[in-house]
């Protein structure tokens, strides 16, 4: 007869103390954190034609003490509607992530002045 033994696994939840905040895009020259790709330095706003594609640049930094990922929500300030989300890749503490190239796509410019907010978590 074969004697059996029990294997007990203990699971431990690890809370990642990552914390993200927006950071300067190109320090020390460009201190903007979020700006439309059409915005010349130092401006944070740009003019678009109705229906034109809107792209933005942003930079986030993990200012926490642990590795983690983040999420950015983009909302229409007039309606509160969620426009889009972006995920931030896993970053070590004090590491930054920024858009490159043409930037991050937001959407088509509506037939109004468009005020949008960016919120990063955690």
Tokens 């020390």 label which residue? 28
In a domain, 109, yes or no: yes
Which residues form the domain of 77? 20-121
The per-residue pLDDT for range 40-73, each reduced to its tens digit, is: 988 888 999 899 999 999 999 999 999 999 999 9
The domain that holds 75 is classified in CATH as 2.60.40
Is residue 10 assigned to a domain? Answer: no
Domain count, the chain: 1
Given this model, what pLDDT does residue 14 score?
A: 58
Phi, psi values for residue 24, rounded to 5°? -60, 135
Is residue 32 in some structural domain?
yes
Q: What own/partner pairs with CB < 8 Å and gap ≥ 24 does 81-89 have?
A: 83/107, 83/116, 86/58, 88/20, 88/60, 88/120
- Residue 1 counted as domain residue: no
For residue 59, being part of any structural domain is answered with yes
């Amino acid at each position: 007869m074969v004697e059996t033994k029990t294997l007990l696994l203990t699971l431990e939840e690890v809370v990642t103390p990552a914390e993200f905040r927006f950071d300067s895009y190109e320090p020390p020259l460009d201190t903007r954190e979020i700006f439309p790709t059409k915005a010349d330095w130092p401006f944070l706003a740009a003019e678009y034609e109705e229906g034109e594609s809107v792209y933005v640049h942003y930079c986030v930094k993990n200012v926490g003490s642990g590795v983690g990922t983040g999420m950015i929500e983009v909302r229409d300030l007039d309606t509160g509607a969620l426009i889009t989300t972006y995920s931030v890749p896993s970053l070590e503490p004090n590491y930054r992530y920024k858009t490159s190239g043409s930037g991050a796509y937001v959407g088509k410019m509506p037939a109004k002045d468009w005020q949008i907010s960016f919120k990063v978590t955690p």
